[in-house]
Amino acid sequence: MATSLEELKNKTYEQLKEAMVNALVKKDLSEEEMGESARYISFHLGAVESPEELMLFLDDLSNRWVIYKDACLALKKEETQQEDQERLQKAQEELKNLTQ
């Protein structure tokens, strides 16, 4: 079953929040950068209206703040795997229909 956009956005928010906290603990992110990136994430993630827009947001975010790169790559990888699984299931169903 496909993941809804809201579920994707919530998962993204949680993983980015975790990346931010880890960066603060490691002192890889200043409080000023934290505030700036939090505002950026809140504004832009809230405006995302499609999975494609979400992927573009993740690209832009990781280019602006390197501390989010690993989280963004993991999210993109997971979404790609989900899409691949859905395509495979669809192809298998079509093949099954052709052989009946």
d(CA 59, CA 82) in angstroms, rounded, equals 18
Residue-range domain boundaries for the chain: 5-99
Task: Give Cα 25 to chain centroid, integer Å.
Answer: 22
For the purposes of burial, counting CB atoms within 10 Å of the CB of 27, is it exposed (0-12), middle (13-18) or buried (19 or more)?
exposed
Angle at 70 between CA 69 and CA 71, to 5 degrees: 95
Confidence of residue 2 (pLDDT cuts 50, 70, 90): low
Considering only CA atoms, which of 86, 79, 88 is closest in space to residue 8? 79
Question: Residue ranges of the alpha helices (H) in 1-100?
Answer: 5-25, 31-47, 51-64, 69-99
pTM score: 0.79
Neighbours of 2 (CB within 10 A): 11
For 16-68, what is each residue's pLDDT tens digit? 999 999 999 999 988 899 999 999 999 999 999 998 899 999 999 999 999 99
For 58-84, what is each residue's pLDDT tens digit? 999 999 999 999 998 998 898 888 889
